[in-house]
Amino acid sequence: MRWNIGLAYLAALLGCVSEGFAADTITVRDGETGFTFSEYQAAFVIGQAIKFRVAVPSPAPDKFDLVFQIIAPTAVGWTGLAWGASMVNNPLTIGWASGSTPVISVRRTSVRTQPQIYDGATVQLLKTGTRVNGTHWQVTAKCSGCSSFSTTGSTTKNLNANGSNRLAFAYSKTRPNSASTAAMISVHDVYNYWDHDFSTAGNPDFDQLVKNNS
Ligand code: HEM
Ligand SMILES: *[C@@H]1O[C@H](CO)[C@@H](O)[C@H](O)[C@H]1NC(C)=O
Ligand SMILES: *[C@@H]1O[C@H](CO)[C@@H](O)[C@H](O)[C@H]1NC(C)=O
């Protein structure tokens, strides 16, 4: 297929990809927090994207904590990351802006109805890199339990700290009407999936960076 070869050739020429075509992410160093993240830009309407960023310790233990960042234009009512690339049976980290307060809520569900609070994963919002301003809201948070979790029955899913992981997001234009982590959230307008390369997201000074930004 000449079309595909053409695209790959163009991408290589532009230097879009350094590690083949497995992942949909780029690597960024965030000057504000000091973390190196791999970043996916998720289009939620034509011409606008939410940035989902992941940073991991390097080297990483089997069950590793990670830091994620969500940078969302004000038009985003709520957005969530599904760490197992599905609406069901995995931790969902959902963020929104309640006035000037950024909120993160961890939810889970086994059916496709409003996910309920889930305490099998915990998030700690980092002070630096978390804000609401006139154009965006942004959260930076450490998660324990996002990289390793049970799915159904006794099945455990471990994300690969040194490879590509399938993730999903959902977006709604409707803002939850409170800063409570248990706030009602309405159904999404858009969802999608991508391959997120964690191998370029390693941070040798992970613990120190978490401390510095807390
Ligand atoms: C009130 C809240 C929610 C409701 C009522 C809801 C409902 C639904 C329904 C009915 C579907 C099936 C759509 C179809 O087949 O066309 C679906 C799919 C999906 N939802 Fe939700 N949802 C909610 C929240 C969320 C959240 C918070 C996330 C992730 C952070 C999410 C992620 C997804 C994904 C990725 C799919 C695609 C199917 C799959 O991968 O499981 N949803 N949702
Ligand atoms: C990935 O593998 C390389 C080589 O084995 C290692 O040096 C690096 O620390 C690993 N990265 C993570 C995030 O574990
Ligand atoms: C508002 O926040 C966004 C996301 O953090 C940032 O990129 C932008 O520079 C901020 N705008 C101002 C005026 O500080």
Is the CB of 138 inside a 6 Å radius of any atom of ligand 3? Answer: yes
d(CA 29, CA 176): 31
- Two tokens, residue 197: 């390369």
Sign of the torsion angle spanned by Cα atoms 45, 195, 83, 193: positive
Query: What pTM did the predictor assign?
Result: 0.90
Q: Which of 51, 58, 59 is nearest to 26 (CA)?
A: 51
User: What is the CA(81)–ligand 3 centre distance, in A?
Assistant: 21
User: In this structure, are residues 82 and 90 in contact, taking their beta carbons and an 8 Å threshold?
Assistant: yes
**Residue pLDDT, tens place only, 26-69:** 999 999 999 999 999 999 999 999 999 999 999 999 899 999 99
Residue owning the nearest CA to atom 14 of ligand 3 = 133
Spatial neighbors of 130 by CB under 8 A, at least 6 apart, are 102, 138, 139, 140, 141
Q: Which CATH architecture has domain 7-213?
A: Sandwich (2.60)
Check residue 63 and give its pLDDT: 92
User: What is the CA(162)–ligand 2 centre distance, in A?
Assistant: 6
Ligand with an atom nearest the CA of residue 38: 2
The HSE-up count of residue 168 (CA atoms within 13 Å, CB side) is: 16
Q: Which of 75, 66, 61, 8 is nearest to 201 (CA)?
A: 66
Q: Is 21 helix (H, G, I), strand (E, B) or coil?
A: strand
Instruction: State phi, psi for 132 to the nearest 5 degrees.
Output: -125, 130
**Residue pLDDT, tens place only, 133-166:** 999 999 999 999 999 999 998 999 999 999 999 9
Instruction: Spell out which residues line ligand 1, taking CB within 6 angstroms.
Output: 80, 82, 86-88, 92, 94, 112-115, 168, 170, 185-188, 191
- Domain-wise residue ranges, the chain: 7-213
- Two tokens, residue 112: 């496709």
d(CA 53, CA 34): 13
